[in-house]
Structure 1
Amino acid sequence: MAEKLFKSNQLLSQLRRVVKSEQLVLSVLALVVGAMAGAGTIVFREGILFVQTLTFGSGEEAVHEYLRTLPAWHLIAVPTLGGLFVGVFIYRFLPERRPHGVADVVDAALFHDARMSSRCGIKSAFISAVSLGTGASLGREGPVVHMGASFGAWLARMLHLRRSTARTLLGCGVASAVAASFNAPLAGALFAHEVALGHYALTAFAPIVLASVTGTIITRLYFGADVAFLLPTNEIQSFLEFPAFALLGIAAGITAICVTRGIPVVQNVARAAKIPIWLRPAVGGLVIGVVALEFPQIVGVGYGAMNDALYAAYGWSLLVQLLIVKAAMVTICFGLGYAGGMFSPALFLGAMLGGAFGVAATAVFPDLSSGYGAYTLVGMGAVAAAMLGAPISTTLIIFELSGDYELTIAVMVASVLASIIMDQFQGGSFFTWQLKCRGLTTRWGREVNLLRMMKVADIMKREYEVVGLNEGLPAIQEKLVNAPYSELFVVDEDGRLHGTITLADLRHAAFDREPGDEITAGHVARSKPPVLLRTDSIEKAVRLMEQTGEEHLPVIDDDERRLMVGFVHEKDAMMAYNNALLELQSEDHGGAPPKLF
């Protein structure tokens, strides 16, 4: 461990000697993370097609037409067996026996000092590629976002960088992955701030943009400059259409709510049916295979079907059917533990919803309608914005894909309304809901989250004065004079905390005793004082101090042994919190160059 620390510090020192500026060092690290995430995105996408070729026999992204030529047993067997492999792999090799994704990135950024496992990132990407390659009706963006973020967190951990720099590199991985997925560098940069980091920080903006551009360049060199979707030419016919776009936004918000609320229903059914965790994806795969016999469009990521919808290849009836069926498949896949993301499913649902809405709007107001394609694109942006909690990023993705300013305004209107509906009636995005299911909340703001991230072990004092349970008054008086903050901690012969003694306690004991009474520390001490564990957050420490009126609290190793290991003073807790707030303020508003470690 010491050798690794020495080597990482030596590497960072050499880099700093070359470039002479911490801002430039951070920029170089951002380029490295951006390149890693961009390359990882390429490998992931090729991995999906490789698995798809092995299992279905086609390496095309628009695979739904080819699937119609397969025999029924093949179409059912591949998702079922793929789901079985996915379930066993997740159960055996992934932490908490569940797939990991964007919510875990938000969790790491807000609650765990941007600490993530790169091994978990690679394993999650691998099993997501298997999921999608064998037909899971989910998306490919979430896994690469998680993988890219884990690369940034890994580099920060290897170089022992400070918390704010680690969060920035985590955001660099996210931005590069999103930009590489959609050929949209600006949207990738803003998505990292809007979703992963949860705020906009000036000091992080330049490195994140560099990483985003790097990821885009790498994927363009490999895949070419083609965008994710082939867009028809769209033109807003009249601003009188905007009420229709607003209605579409409301419908998109309702769609996002229905899908999110459907997932726990599936989970509860699986638990009630006592289906083993490792077997659940196989059950989902069986359902996918059966449904794909009639609707092959729902297999995999679904970009081919989205392009068909953009070019009005589907009628109103099929669009509505695909909307309902895809929503059901997404809830089943997530509810039964498949690995994959929510971005592509949200775009798919939005495409079908927008297309169906556009058909109806064109039929009612043919002279005012901008055509099916425009409504399809607006629907894609609106549902994705509501699901991801990212109206700004989603709007920019549509703008970078279409280059149409007026259409972007329509997407903005629908996205904002959809996000408001989702926020008011669901309490936040899909990722917020996932965190809430784990007992975490993003509602308290960064300041409270910061207190929850900081641990008692980081600020506790390890030098303190103890007195034995049976020691007498002279020993108590002598030790109390030299004790920090004039407080003694009373321990038994095994070092277990019994209580505390202050000058006030000693005065009370002196007045209350009878002449000739023997005074020991056990008699004077206030027994069972409020205590903290080393793993408790500073937020808990501050709250306990407020409730008890204590200025300092003893810290024990665990509730059973109660071995004394230190104490926390209110001043130290407030100082740590204040320093962290100053660091956040520096991130948000710029100022001094960022400190790396």
Structure 2
Amino acid sequence: MVQLAAMLASEVGQFFKVSRPRLRLLVACGGAAGLASAYNTPLAGALFIAEIVLQTLAIEALGPLIVSAVTATLVVRHWIGMKPIFSASDFSAPVDIDVLPIICLGILLGILAPLFLLLLDGSRKLFQRLRLPPPLSIGLGGLFVGWISMSTPEVWGNGHAVVEALLNDPLTLSFVASILLFKILATTLAVGSGTIGGVFTPSLLIGAATGWLSAVAAHLLIPSLTIDPVIFAALGMGAFLAGTTHAPVMAILMVFEMTLDANLLLPLILVAMTARTISGALHPKSIYSQPMGRHDQRRRAHHLLHIGDIMAAPSHVIAAKASIEAAGQAFLRTTADQLWVIDDQGGYQGHLSLDRLQSDSTTDEPFENALVEELLAPSRAFLRVNGSLADALVIFVESGARILPVTGSDQRLLGEITRHDVLLALEGEASPSPPASL
């Protein structure tokens, strides 16, 4: 769903020939919309794409992501209602658990998360050493998963049905333990072989099963300790997600929006932050660092990109010898608040602002016969087409401008670029490509 939404957004952007930075943001918005609609999690979906994929919380990126995710969620809720993706009767009651068991669960899952990441990495390396063609490698992984599913069919799929069962059905300790073990094994083999699919929802299942087992095991070891396995299953999802993604705020919001239970919020914060702290101390990389690590060179590419690579054609241009009346008509045809002024050879002369035109129209001096060049604003910053994006950002910050013209070495006006596009380009090139799967 996420990949399809992102691909559709890419097709739309290419059809309308949007600039590369805006196309990258459009694809990210498609991914956020797909994630939000699939899991009924608008805020967490937007934050996931911003924090993990784009690796920025700048409002230039986060704002559009939230709008697209919320819009997609509203459309889905119009058709299927506001039912949370995971529901349980126990969620309606206040969570009454001591702080110590919650912290212990966070520590446990903070330790298990790096172990799971090491298993995934080891499986990838094992299949790479086999040097099999991709079809054979994927087929071998599918053979192993199929063999596992013959004894435990619950390992099939993303694990949503099993999580629902953990939250609502009476299950035995041995059954949940076998599902946890074989799901980890099946996911590890599938990911290592290169099978197309995600680890996001399987991570939720692993966390939920571990939380459920922890609550049951704690009661068996200490009969006086009563912990609701359903609550611990929900907390386990958030803790394991935080430990594997290293994005605790996203994990907290994700589980909260999946359950729509405010009673879980405070324990979720505690368990997710604990798991993230332990996991980060044991293993610096997240579950998405491995596929993203192949793009380390692109993280430095923004220093090599030039302004000309992402600039747009100048859209609001007027001749210096044009009349003020012509300038007024030009402003009426656009929403821009300035016009680029050029001479007869196309050389950039400066800009005419709408404020300057309006202020001069209120004076007593006649200006019907005045020319645009007579009302040019004082010298304003401009960008060179061969300048770097890093240089462009410095000029934008120093000038405080929202949009600047781009000129060649001969001072000819070649294009224009907005601060928004520069920020998006820097964020996109400094960030790795989106992970192949979620």
TM-score by length of 1: 0.50
Instruction: Indicate which of 190, 197, 201 corresponds to 1:340.
Output: 197
Q: Deviations over 1:444-501 (max 9, x none)?
A: 8xxx56326x269859xxxxxxxxxxxxxxxxxxxxxxxxxxxxxxxxxxxxxxxxxx
> CA 1:155 to 1:230, structure 2 compared with 1: closer, same or farther past 3 Å?
same
Q: Return the alpha-carbon distance in structure 2 between the equivalents of residues 581 and 412 of structure 1.
A: 38
> CA 1:417 to 1:583, structure 2 compared with 1: closer, same or farther past 3 Å?
farther
1:243 matched residue in structure 2: 100
Aligned: 1:270 with 2:124: no
Q: Which runs of 5+ in 2 are unaligned?
A: 311-383, 403-416, 423-438
2:323 matched residue in structure 1: none
Q: Which runs of 5+ in 1 are unaligned?
A: 1-143, 460-570
1:398 matched residue in structure 2: 255
Instruction: Indicate which of 57, 69, 80 corresponds to 1:200.
Output: 57
Match runs of 1:309-458 below 5 Å = 309-311=166-168, 313-364=170-221, 369-436=226-293, 438=294, 440=296, 448=300, 450-451=302-303, 454=305, 458=309
Q: Return the alpha-carbon distance in structure 2 between the equivalents of residues 158 and 362 of structure 1.
A: 59
- Offset at residue 582 of structure 1 (A): 6.7
Query: Are 1:312 and 1:373, in contact at CA under 8 Å, matched by a contact in 2?
Result: no
> CA 1:572 to 1:451, structure 2 compared with 1: closer, same or farther past 3 Å?
same
Query: Are 2:248 and 2:272, in contact at CA under 8 Å, matched by a contact in 1?
Result: yes
Q: Return the alpha-carbon distance in structure 2 between the equivalents of residues 153 and 283 of structure 1.
A: 33
2:45 matched residue in structure 1: 188
1:289 matched residue in structure 2: 146
* 1:418 alignment partner, SS class: helix
Query: Are 1:232 and 1:373, in contact at CA under 8 Å, matched by a contact in 2?
Result: no
Q: Return the alpha-carbon distance in structure 1 between the equivalents of residues 394 and 242 of structure 2.
A: 30
- Offset at residue 309 of structure 1 (A): 1.1
Match runs of 1:131-142 below 5 Å = none
Match runs of 1:22-37 below 5 Å = none
Q: Return the alpha-carbon distance in structure 2 between the equivalents of residues 256 and 451 of structure 1.
A: 35
> CA 1:167 to 1:366, structure 2 compared with 1: closer, same or farther past 3 Å?
farther
* 2:288 alignment partner, SS class: helix
1:213 matched residue in structure 2: 70
Aligned amino acid, residue 329 of structure 1: A
Q: Deviations over 1:222-275 (max 9, x none)?
A: 4443332232323455452x2222222222233222222222322333344443
2:162 matched residue in structure 1: 305
1:106 matched residue in structure 2: none
Query: Are 2:33 and 2:72, in contact at CA under 8 Å, matched by a contact in 1?
Result: yes
Q: Which range moves more in the overlay, 349-358 or 157-166?
A: 157-166
> CA 1:362 to 1:160, structure 2 compared with 1: closer, same or farther past 3 Å?
same
Aligned: 1:577 with 2:390: yes
1:227 matched residue in structure 2: 84
> CA 1:232 to 1:249, structure 2 compared with 1: closer, same or farther past 3 Å?
same
Aligned-pair identity in percent equals 25
- Offset at residue 317 of structure 1 (A): 2.6
Query: Are 1:161 and 1:596, in contact at CA under 8 Å, matched by a contact in 2?
Result: no
Q: Return the alpha-carbon distance in structure 2 between the equivalents of residues 391 and 341 of structure 1.
A: 19
Query: Are 2:242 and 2:275, in contact at CA under 8 Å, matched by a contact in 1?
Result: yes
1:135 matched residue in structure 2: none
* 2:90 alignment partner, SS class: coil
Query: Are 1:347 and 1:381, in contact at CA under 8 Å, matched by a contact in 2?
Result: yes
Q: Return the alpha-carbon distance in structure 2 between the equivalents of residues 412 and 581 of structure 1.
A: 38
Q: Return the alpha-carbon distance in structure 2 between the equivalents of residues 149 and 375 of structure 1.
A: 34
2:432 matched residue in structure 1: none
Q: CA RMSD in A?
A: 3.3
Query: Are 1:450 and 1:580, in contact at CA under 8 Å, matched by a contact in 2?
Result: no
> CA 1:154 to 1:455, structure 2 compared with 1: closer, same or farther past 3 Å?
farther
Aligned residues: 332
